[in-house]
Structures are given as C-alpha cells and as structure tokens.
Structure 1
Amino acid sequence: MRDDPECSPVSFGLIVIGDEVLNGGRTDLHLTTFKRLIGERGHDLAWHWMLPDDPDVLTAHLRFSMGRPEPVFVCGGIGATPDDHTRACAAAAAHVALVRHPEAAQLIADRFGAEAYPHRILMADLPEGADLIPNPVNRVPGFALARHCFLPGFPKMAWPMAEWVLEQRFGHGERLHEAAVEVRGVSESQLILPMRRLGGDFPALKLFSLPHMDEDPHILLGFRGRGDLTEAMDALCRELDREGIGYTPPALERPR
C-alpha cells in the first residue's frame, strides 16, 4: 500500500481471460476502459493479453507475469463453475496452496445465506496469502496476489473494483502529453533519417510516427511523454527543415 497520494507513474499489465471473449461470442470491453482508468490517473498500460480458459496456458502466463515488476489487472475466471480456473491457476503460478479465505467466506455467506452452499462458497477458495478486493455490486470479493489484482470478468463489477485499487494503492501521477506535426507528400521511410538523428536526445520521451491512410493521407510525427514537450518538438521541426520536409505547425499538447 502507498503512503502518499502523490506517486510516480506506474506501468500496468492487463490480462483478460475467457473463451467467450477469445472466440468471439462476447466482445472485450476491458482494454479500452482500463486504458482510460489507468491513463487518467497518470499511469500507463504497458501490455495486454487475452487468454483462454485453459489451466496450463493460464498457469504458465501467470507464472511469467508474476516474475515481472509491473502490477497486473486480471479479469475473468474467478467464479465457481468448472470452467473458472483463475483462482487455482494463480495459486499454482505463485507456488502456494488454494485455501478457504475466512473473510471471503463470511462475505459470501452473508450475501447468499443458505444458497452459498455448496457451490458459491467455492469463490472463497483463494491462493494462500491473498488480500481481498471489495466488490461493491454483489460483495463477492476479488483478490490481490503477487502484484496481480484478480477481478470478475463482468465489467460492471471489474471496473469499480479496479478504480478502488488504483485510488487506494497507486494514486495519481503526471499524465502523459502528446504533440505532433502533420507531414504530407512524403513516405514514412523519408522520416527515418531525421528520427534517427533525434535518436536518444530525449530519452524520457517516446518519438512516434503514425501514418493515416485514408482520403487525407498524412503522417503524424511527434513526441509523447510527461512534462514540457516544447524543446523536443522544436528539435523535431529543425530536423524536418533540414530535410526540406514540409509540415503543419505542432499541434497543441494534450493529455493522453
């Protein structure tokens, strides 16, 4: 847990689990929303996986991501039906036992009464050492383990739970900004030399080239990062002038 609401930017992973999403029966809504939830707090989404309800695949991928430094949101597969493998796979990946969590069991019993048994109570079987993540919709908690936050697949539950995690554990950092010029009448390959010359001059920023191939073909060339982008954009414009490449004035910086 953090001690201060102000924090440095954090890069997150996102894992979405479910055959129904992977095979097209249901459209994934998590990626767009998590990018927004994370980005509007000044953090980044570093990577995104979509995985099937396959215990071997889940365990292998979770074992890999648990060995990485970034925190990860995991959506899906924490229910009580036989195709929900995430709780057991998380335990296997972390090399801990799957045990009945007393507080989770109490929450489920309080919520469902006699109907909690014998099946719903299985959602209280969590990896040993897991912390609970409150669920404001039906009180059946998610859990946190090894920098991973395991949430239901249902968006109406997962998103407010993710917001709680972000506010309680990570706070707000400085948001990303972006500035770019529009380049027309040249191929992207003609931008390689000026981009190479800029090279490592601005290591804290991301230099990008984004072609638009529509009725108004052009390339957005610019920088993305935190802080003032003016110096970097001035240098980019000088490189384009050096190559004789025309461009629009830099667009105003905007939060990402």
Structure 2
Amino acid sequence: MQKKQIPAIRLIIIGDEILSGRRQDKHFSHLVELLKARGLKLHSAQIISDEPDHIEHTLRASFSTQDIVFCCGGIGATPDDQTRQAAARALGVDLTLHPEAAALITERTQEQALQGHGSADMSLAENQQRLQMGVFPVGAEIVPNPFNKIPGFFIQNHTFTPGFPVMAWPMMEWVLDHKFADFHHTETSVEMSFLAFALPESRITPALEQLELNWPTVKAFSLPSVGNKSVRPHIELGVKGDPESCAQAFVFLQNRVTEVGGKWELLG
C-alpha cells in the first residue's frame, strides 16, 4: 500500500505588533509541539505585516499550493484587522456573514448580557459590529473557538485564527484532529545526534556529504557552537530520517569523527 503524501505544513503570523517587537510570537513553538505529537513537522513559517496588499499577496501565493497552512492574527473587526478581507480578495470571492458564526456570536453576546456586560439586542450598532467577526470568504467553514465561541474559519487547507494563543492553539488542534487526522503518524522518522569536540566543521563536512550519498533517505545536520563558561566549543552532529538508515548513518558519522581526529560524546 502506497504511503499517503503529506502536504507541507506552514505557519503565517500576521501582525505589525510582532514585527515591531511590541509582542513576542508564541505560535511557532507551540505549533511545532502540536505537530510533533501527531508525527508531523513544520515545513516553514513567516511573519508578515497588517498591510492589506501584503496579506493579499502572501495569501494568493499560499492558496496556489496544496499546503496545510495556519494563519494567525487579523480576523477581528477593527480597522487594523484585514485578514478576512485579504483572504477573500486572494481567492476572488465575496465576503458573507456565515450563519453558524452569526449564531455563535449571538449566543456569546447573550451570555455576556446575562453577566451584566452589554445588551443582547443584536440590532444595536456595537452588536452589529461584533457580527463582522463572522463575515468570512464565501465557501469557508467555521473553526470552533472553545475560549469565547467566536469562530475562526477554514478554507482551501488554510486555517485562520485570532492572534491570541488562548484561542488560536485549541483551534489549531481541532483542525489537525478533524481535518488532517489521516496524516497523523503515517511517516516513521527519528532524529539522533551527538557532540563532537576538537574538530573544525570543515574537516567533517566531506563525511556529511558522503553520508547522504550512502543513505539517500537520511538528512545530516551540523550545528556548531562557540561554547560558554560551562560548555566547551563543539559541533552537534546528527541525522534524521527512517530509523534503520539513521542507525547505520549515525554509527558511520561517529566513526568518521574519530578517524579525522575528533572526539565525540552522546547527548544527555
């Protein structure tokens, strides 16, 4: 039986507040962990501005792929939230109030009114403004938001969530488990590494190149460190790929370090 090809999984973070340093991104590391728990990995990530044309251009290119993409930020209803509009333009479709989103926003508004926050009258201007958060590109599906019920949306393998981690993270998890469960743990891959000392990176590079020729399914990596007060200068050398080939390549690499005059130690 042929293995199912897993699309590249990418992250797009939208927000001037990240680029200016007013806020620090937390989505990258969390998505990596969500994916790792499901036997998946992140292919790439980018941070872009709130500028509408920039978002549209980025999304148009992204929609042209078959990739699985998580987009965080800019789906609120204030003037600086332009992601919903840019996504619609990139897809060449209209925006429309999604009926399920409208029902959820109405429900949330009524709950808040019962708690003494605002009015449940949806004809009021402020509540009509809240409904704008449910205006999505035509053809989109809602993504449930367990934090406050205001949904994100899913269209063409792209998931759009708010920038707030407390909302975005469970929404990412829901999409991974409800839209892409068929891809979970379909590839067996390992990563193994050790520390090499008294060895310039240039001296071990030919061995890394030879390793990838000998084991085409294995990717070698080299992460040099200048060290610090507690750790000597070293290179973390390793391999990643299918378990059997990695095991063979790992021993090969250890032997080559010794042969060219270096010393190695296992991590941990």
Per-residue deviation, 1:176: 4.3
Structure 1 match to 2:134: 124
Residue 72 in structure 1 maps to residue 55 in structure 2: no
Q: TM-score, normalised by structure 2?
A: 0.85
Per-residue deviation, 1:114: 2.4
Structure with higher Rg: it is 2
Per-residue deviation, 1:96: 1.3
Flag the structure with more relative contact order, 1 or 2, with Cα contacts below 8 A and sequence separation at least 6: 1
Q: TM-score, normalised by structure 1?
A: 0.89
**Preserved CA contact (<8 Å) 2:161 2:171:** yes
Structure 1 match to 2:114: none
Listed as ranges, the gaps of 5+ residues in structure 1 are 1-5
Structure 2 match to 1:210: 223
1:1-256 → structure 2 map (5 Å cutoff): 11-112=8-109, 113-114=120-121, 117-171=127-181, 172-173=184-185, 174=187, 176-215=189-228, 216-228=232-244, 229-241=246-258, 243-248=259-264, 250-251=266-267
**Preserved CA contact (<8 Å) 1:10 1:44:** no
**Preserved CA contact (<8 Å) 2:7 2:66:** no
Per-residue deviation, 1:119: 0.4
Q: 1:61-86 CA deviation, whole Å, 9 max, x = no partner?
A: 11111122220001100001111000
* Equivalent position SS for 2:42: strand
Aligned residue pair count: 246
For 2:5 and 2:38, how far apart are their aligned partners in 1?
11
Could you tell which deviates more after superposition, 104-113 or 174-183? 174-183
* Equivalent position SS for 2:128: coil
Root mean square deviation of aligned Cα: 2.1
Per-residue deviation, 1:202: 2.4
**Preserved CA contact (<8 Å) 2:98 2:134:** yes
Amino acid across the alignment from 1:220: E
Structure 2 match to 1:3: none
Per-residue deviation, 1:191: 1.5
For 1:232 and 1:65, how far apart are their aligned partners in 2?
36
Per-residue deviation, 1:92: 1.0
